[in-house]
Structure 1
Amino acid sequence: MQPWRDTTLLEAIAGKLKELRVAKGVSQETVYEDTGIHIGKIETARYNITVSTLSKLCNYYGITLKEFFDKLGK
């Protein structure tokens, strides 16, 4: 059985993470080198991101999870 996926939410998260990466001025490769997270799969909404992974990325981008979701508008 496949895990449940909210495609709309995953696409919103993917878009916000891409915005944060672009604003920081780093490539997907740099994010991977710095965090060990394959951001490419996340930014295309093909990966059902975990809260732990999202928290690590928020720390990397210098924001809290609350700020991330406030900016997401969800």
Structure 2
Amino acid sequence: MILSKEEITLKKIALCVKILRDEYNVTLSEFYIDTGIHLARIEQGKTNITISTLQKICEYFNITLSDFFMMMEKI
């Protein structure tokens, strides 16, 4: 199965979010309680998130959107 560019991007976003959450040792429940954002479907690459949601995720982990996108480029 060949993935579209959009699917590849969603998978990269998902992996970056999962890596950040693991690095900060934050559970899905903790993240939801703190932000109101459900990460499960995002981390599965099944949800196309908005830039404002991504901004909130980055703020939670104290990184910039630029840092996040640089992280994505390394994958």
User: TM-score if structure 2 supplies the norm length?
Assistant: 0.89
Q: Structure 1 CA distance, aligned partners of 2:70 and 2:19?
A: 14
Runs of 4+ in 1 over 6 A off after TM superposition: none
Q: Structure 2 CA distance, aligned partners of 1:12 and 1:66?
A: 15
SS of the residue 1:12 aligns to: helix
Q: State the match for 1:29 in structure 2.
A: 29
Q: State the match for 2:62 in structure 1.
A: 62
Q: CA RMSD in A?
A: 1.3
Give percent identity, aligned residues only.
Answer: 43
Q: State the match for 2:9 in structure 1.
A: 9
Gaps of 5+ in 2: none
User: TM-score if structure 1 supplies the norm length?
Assistant: 0.90
Q: How many residues align?
A: 70
Gaps of 5+ in 1: none
